[in-house]
Structure 1
Amino acid sequence: MSPFKGQTGLKRVLNATGYSFDGLQAAFTGEAAFRQLVLLNVVLIPLAFCFEVSRGERALMIAACLLALIVELFNSAVEATIDRISLERHPLSKNAKDMGSAAQLVALTLIAAVWATILLG
């Protein structure tokens, strides 16, 4: 067992919430791509309420936007971990970073596909 997993109950939930906010703050202050996605979400999520679509369609439009934020958090975590291990260039490090970037490309493509399908379909 990890020595960092010692808390249980409400104390664990409070600690986890604090760590989550720390992660969001680190991403926002240290990752330009995350800030850009937050801005995209600030525009697109309210815009989703301007269209006459079903609640389910609106939920999909919003979920696709939020998924891109989630993917960027994972991508940033992968990049930070790789950089923590070593800053030297290595093919496996490049692959890991490139795959994280590819995941973000898929998430952004999903936003475009969902919005286009709902609004143009």
Structure 2
Amino acid sequence: MIVTKATGLARFYHATRYSWKGLKAAYRSEPAFRYEAWVALALLPVAFWLAESGLQLGLLVSSLLLVLTMELINTAVEAVVDRAGTEFNTLAGLAKDLGSAAVLFSLLIVAVIWGGVIFDNLIAA
């Protein structure tokens, strides 16, 4: 049996549906993703107020999106590891820890970028 994949707009439509399905699943099942999404939503207007240039705005907003992206990837890694089995496995634990570390680093990136923008704006004032 030959399976044909959708192309063009149909492919875009299906890809978008799957992406929204993933976002909804992450929001429903992952408290960390919910918290980070709400913090990002709260900081978004602050970014528009704080930014003095398009570049600063892009950095501020992108750093928030990076955290959400890392959390989605971490959740995907955890789901795959949990699907593989429930018995203890050193590599499974390592995979989960590395995913968590990626989220931590993305949060540090937010702190560095937001701190840098605030510092630049204070110096310029």
With normalisation by structure 1, the TM-score equals 0.92
Of the two, which has the highest radius of gyration?
Answer: 2
Aligned to 2:98: 99
In the other structure, the counterpart of 1:115 is 114
Q: Distance in 1 between matches of 2:37 and 2:46?
A: 14
2:44 is the counterpart of 1:45: yes
* Partner residue in 1 for 2:69: 70
Post-superposition Cα deviations, 1:41-81, rounded to whole Å, max 9, x if no partner, equal 01111111122521111110110001100111000000000
One-letter amino acid of the structure 2 residue matched with residue 103 of structure 1:
A
Structure 1 stretches (4+) deviating beyond 4 angstroms? none
Question: Runs of 5+ in structure 2 lacking a partner?
Answer: 121-125
Whether the 8 Å CA contact 2:51–2:117 is kept in 1: the answer is: no
Which runs of 5 or more residues in structure 1 are unaligned?
Answer: none
The CA deviation at 1:21 is: 0.6
Deviation at 1:9, TM superposition (A): 2.0
Q: How many residues align?
A: 119
What's the % identity of the aligned pairs? 39
Task: Quote the Cα distance in structure 2 between the aligned partners of 1:43 and 1:72.
Answer: 18
Q: Secondary structure at the match of 1:49?
A: helix
**Deviation (angstroms), 1:98:** 0.3
CA RMSD after TM alignment: 1.5
Q: What is the TM-score with the length of structure 2 in the denominator?
A: 0.90
